[in-house]
Amino acid sequence: MITAERKPLEEVKDLIGEARNVLVMGCGTCVTVCFAGGSREAAELVVSLRMATRLAGAPREITETTVQRQCEWEYLDEARADVEQADVIVSLACGIGVQAIAERFPDARVVPGVNTTFLGMPTEHGIWEERCAACGECILGITAGICPIARCAKSLLNGPCGGSEAGHCEVSPDTPCAWQLIHDRLQRLGVLDVLMQPQPPKNWKSSRDGGPRRIVRDDLRLAGEQE
Amino acid sequence: MTANPISEDGSLSGSRLERLLRAGHFAVTAELGPPQSTDAGVIRAKASLLRGACDAVNITDNQTAIVRMSSIGAGTIVLAEGLEPVIQMTCRDRNRLAIQADLLGAYALGMRNLLCLTGDHQQFGNHPTAKNVFDIDSVQLVQMVTAMRDDRVFQCGEAFDGPEPRFFVGAAAAPFGGPVEYRPYRLAKKAAAGVNFVQTQLIYDVPAFGRYMAKVRELGLHERVFILAGVGPLKSPGMARYMAKNVPGLLVPDELIDRMTEAGAAWAGKPAEELTPQDKKARAAAWKAEGIRICVELIGRIREIEGVAGVHIMAIEWEEAVRPIAEGAGLLPRPTLEEAAAS
C-alpha cells in the first residue's frame, strides 16, 4: 500500500489560510488502511479544525466527505458538488489524490493534509515499513525476495557495506540491514552463490531518473482513444 | 582495442605504492584528512609529518559525510609536496558521469592510486538533509575504473580515444562487518571486479583478523589482491570504548581498553575539577604513548599473518603519530623505487 502520515494541525491551518468554506476529503483506500486519511481521520481533522476556528473566533464552514479512491476520476466525480462549494479542499489522500483533484477540478484550491511516505506494509500494529521503491525494473528474483533498492540505505546492489553490524544498518539500530536479510535468506534457500558475482550497475532509466513515467497498454485502451 | 595492461616497470599504474608492493615490500600507507576550508597550509603541514614515513597517503573524500576540500584538489597539493596520494572516491556524492570525469582529471593531474568506496551515509555528516547519489556502488566503481584502464571504455561501453586513466585500483574491506562469514566472499567479489589492493577497517582483534585471513587464503585472494591491514593508535580509553561500542565492524578487545585505562591510572579516581591543566596534559600524553605502543605491537602481530602485504595507518587528525608508529614497528626508512627495482 501507499503509506502516509498526518501533517501537524498547525501546518494544515497555515495551508488553509483565510478560506471560509473548507472541505476535508478522505480517501477510502491506502490511507484508510494505514490510518492516515480515511473517513475516521477526516472526521477527527474536522473536529480539530472546528475547535481551532472557534478559538480564533473567525466564522468558517468545515465539512467532510470520503471517496473510495481519490486517484480515479469516477470516484472524484461523486464529490463534485462538495468540491465546487469549497474555497479550499484538504485532501487526506496520498499525493496522487491531491493531484487528481487539481487535474479534475481546475478551479479548485487543494492542499495536502498528509505527507505521503512510502510503499510499504504494516509489520506490527502501529508500525509500517517501506518495501518497494517502484524503480521500474524489479530485481527481487535475484535478491531472495528482499529489495535492496528500497531497504538498503544506500540502495546497494553489491552489499552489505561496512556499516552492517549485528544485523542492523549503520543508519539506525531499528533498521535491519537489507543485505544481511538477503544473505540469510539466500543461505536458507541454498543459493548463496548468487552473492559471489558482481551485479552490474543498475539501469535507473526506468526509475524516476528517466523522468516522469507513463504506462501505455494498447490492449486495454478503447478504440477511439488509440494514438 | 585493449590497452596493454602492464607497463615497462611491471606495474599497471607506475605508482610507487604498486611498484613497492609488486617488488614484495611490506607497504605502509597513511591517511591525510583535508581541511574544512581552502587552507593549503594545513595539507602542507600534514604532508611534512608524513613525508618519508609512508609509501603513499590516502586523501579522504568528504569523510564521515562532512564537507572538506576535495580529495583530488588536496591530492594535487600533496603531490607537489613530494608524497604520493591515494585518491579516495565515494559513490555517495557523485553519479557515474561525475566520477569518470573527475578521475580523468585526477589522472591528468598526476594521481596514480585510487580507493573506491561506497561512502558513509550522509546522516552522519554535516549535511544530513542532502540527497545521496549511490548511482553505483563500490564494486561497480572498481569495475568501471578497471574497464577504463584495461579496455579504454566508459561505463556505458563507449570506447574512447587518447590516453586512458591507469590507476592502481583499491577498495576497502571490513573483516568484522556483518555478516562476518560473508566478508571473505565480499572481498572475492571485489577481486572478481578487478580490484588490485584493499585497505581494511581498523584491526584491534588480531586473532579475529587471523581467522578472516585464513579464509581469504583458502580462497586464494591474497595472491590476487594486495591486502593492507588497517591499524590506528588509540587516543584515550574513552575513544577505545566509544569505538568498541559505536563503530560498525570494529572489534576492540577489553584487554586493550584496560591497557589504555591503566596508562592513565596515576590520575584516576580524582574528580575532574581536581585535575590541573598540567595533569590533564600529562594524562593525555600517557594515553597517547600507550596508544602508539599498542599500535606498534599490533603491526608486529599482523605482519606475522600470511597474506598481509602492508599496513594502512589511520591516525585520525593525529598525523604526528604515523612516524613514531612506523619507526617503532621497524618500518623505517621506507624503501626507494630504486631499491624496489633491484629486489
What SS3 state is found at B341?
Answer: helix
Among A88, A118, A148, the domain-final residue is A118
Distance from CA of B340 to the nearest CA of A (A): 33
- Yes or no, beta carbons of A161 and B140 under 8 Å apart: no
Domain at B16-342, CATH from 3.40.50.1370, 3.20.20.370, 3.40.190.10, 3.20.20.220:
3.20.20.220
Q: Which three cell numbers stand for residue B96?
A: 557515474
Decide if A129 is inside a domain: no
Same domain, A139 and A106: no
Q: pLDDT, tens digit, for every residue of A26-61? A: 999 999 999 999 999 999 999 999 999 999 887 899
A216 in any annotated domain: no
Are A164 and A203 within one domain? yes
B-interface mutation test, from A158, A187, A196, A199, most B Cβ less than 10 A away:
A158
Residue A94 Ramachandran class (φ > 0 left, ψ -120 to 50 alpha, else beta): beta
pLDDT at A16: 97
For residues A145 and A43, state if they share a domain: no
Contact B177 A184 (CB under 8 A): no
Strand, coil or helix: B117: strand
Which residue from B minimizes the CA distance to A196? B189
In a domain, A92, yes or no: yes
pLDDT for B3 equals: 44
User: What would the mean pLDDT of B3-12 be, rounded to a whole number?
Assistant: 70
Cα–Cα distance between B239 and B203 in angstroms, integer?
15
CB contact under 8 A, A153 and B185: no
On the 0-12 / 13-18 / 19+ scale of CB atoms within 10 A, B215 is: middle
A166 touches chain B (CB under 8 A): yes
Stretch A151-179: mean pLDDT: 96
- Judge: B123–A171 Cβ closer than 8 Å, yes or no: yes
Helices of type H across chain A:
9-16, 30-33, 39-56, 73-77, 80-85, 95-104, 148-151, 178-189
Which structural domain, as residue segments, surrounds residue A18?
Answer: 2-118
Q: At what angle do helices B96-108 and B138-150 cross, to 10 degrees?
A: 50
B201 contact residues in A (CB cutoff 8 A):
162
Quick: pLDDT tens for B237-295.
Answer: 999 999 999 998 999 999 999 999 999 998 887 887 888 999 999 999 999 999 999 99
The confidence score (pLDDT) of residue B4 equals 47
Q: Is A208 on the interface with B (CB under 8 A)?
A: no
Q: Which pLDDT score, from 0 to 100, does residue B274 have?
A: 85
| Cross-chain residue pair B177–A160, CB shorter than 8 Å | yes
For residue A56, the model assigns a pLDDT of 87
Model confidence at B145: pLDDT above 50: yes
Backbone phi, psi, residue B21, to 5°: -65, -45
Residue A161: inside a domain, yes or no?
yes
Per-residue pLDDT for A218 more than 80?
A: yes
- Asked if B248's CB is within 8 angstroms of A162's CB, the reply is yes
pLDDT of residue A58: 79
Which residues on chain A are in Cβ contact (under 8 Å) with B143? 198, 200
Q: Are residues A111 and A155 in the same domain?
A: no
Nearest-CB residue to B135 (from A171, A177, A204): A204
Q: Which residues of B touch A (CB under 8 A)?
A: 91-92, 96, 118-121, 123-124, 132, 134-140, 143-144, 155, 172, 174, 177-179, 182, 185-186, 188-189, 192-193, 201, 248-249
Tell whether A163 is covered by a domain. yes
At residue A226, the pLDDT reads 61
Beta-strand relationship, B226-231 and B308-313: parallel
Q: DSSP class of residue A114?
A: E
Q: Which residues on chain B are in Cβ contact (under 8 Å) with A154?
A: 91-92, 118-119, 121, 132, 134, 137
Binned at pLDDT 50, 70 and 90, residue B2 comes out as very low
Contact call for A199 and B139, based on CB within 8 A = yes
CB proximity A226 to B under 8 Å? no
> B97, B140, B141: best mutation site toward chain A, by most A Cβ within 10 Å?
B140
Assess whether pLDDT exceeds 50 at residue A176: yes
Which of B92, B96, B172 has the CB atom closest to A201's CB atom? B96
Cβ A162–B177 below 8 Å, yes or no?
yes
pLDDT at A148: 98
Domain layout of chain B by residue ranges: 16-342
Beta-carbon separation of A158 and B92 below 8 A: no
Confirm if A91 and A99 have CB atoms less than 8 A apart: no
Q: Report which of B262, B257, B258 is spatially closest to residue B240, judged by C-alpha positions.
A: B257
Q: How many CB pairs under 8 A join A and B?
A: 95
For residues A152 and A58, membership in a common domain is answered with no
Inter-chain contact A165–B138, Cβ cutoff 8 Å?
A: no
Partners of B180 on chain A (C-beta within 8 Å) are: none
Mean pLDDT for A145-166 is: 97
Give the C-alpha separation, B57 to A215, whole Å: 51
Give yes or no: residues A13 and A102 share one domain: yes
pLDDT tens-digit readout, B77-101: 999 999 999 999 999 999 999 999 9
Q: Which residues of B touch A197 (CB under 8 A)?
A: 189, 192
Query: CATH number of the domain that A43 lies in?
Result: 3.40.50.2300
ipTM, interface predicted TM-score of the complex = 0.93
The rounded percent of chain A whose pLDDT value lies above 90 is: 94
- Residue A62 β-bridge partners: A22
Q: Testing the interface with A: which of B91, B97, B100, B121 to mutate, by most A Cβ within 10 A? A: B121
- Considering only CA atoms, which of B73, B30, B55, B17 is closest in space to residue B320? B30
pLDDT surpassing 90 at residue A4:
yes
Same domain, A113 and A161: no
Q: What is the pLDDT of residue B6?
A: 61
Counted domains in chain A: 2
**Is A224 part of any domain?**
no
- Considering the domain architecture, whether residues A56 and A152 belong to the same structural domain is answered as no
Same domain, A96 and A161: no
How confident is the model at residue A227, as a pLDDT? Answer: 56
Share of chain A above pLDDT 70, in %: 98
* A161 neighbourhood in chain B, CB within 8 Å: 118, 137-138, 174, 177
Q: How far away is chain B from the Cα of A134, in angstroms, using its nearest Cα?
A: 16
Is A127 a member of any domain?
A: no
Instruction: Answer yes or no: do A99 and A140 share one domain.
Output: no
Do residues A73 and A165 share a domain?
A: no
What percentage of chain B reaches a pLDDT higher than 70?
A: 98
Q: Would you call A161 and B185 a contact, using CB atoms and an 8 Å cutoff? A: no
Please tell me which of the candidates A156, A171, A198 has its beta carbon nearest to residue B143. Answer: A198
A6, pLDDT greater than 90: yes
Cβ–Cβ under 8 Å, residues B84 and B112 = yes
Give me the pLDDT at residue B1, please. Answer: 35
Taking residue B268's Cβ as centre, other Cβ atoms within 10 Å add up to 10
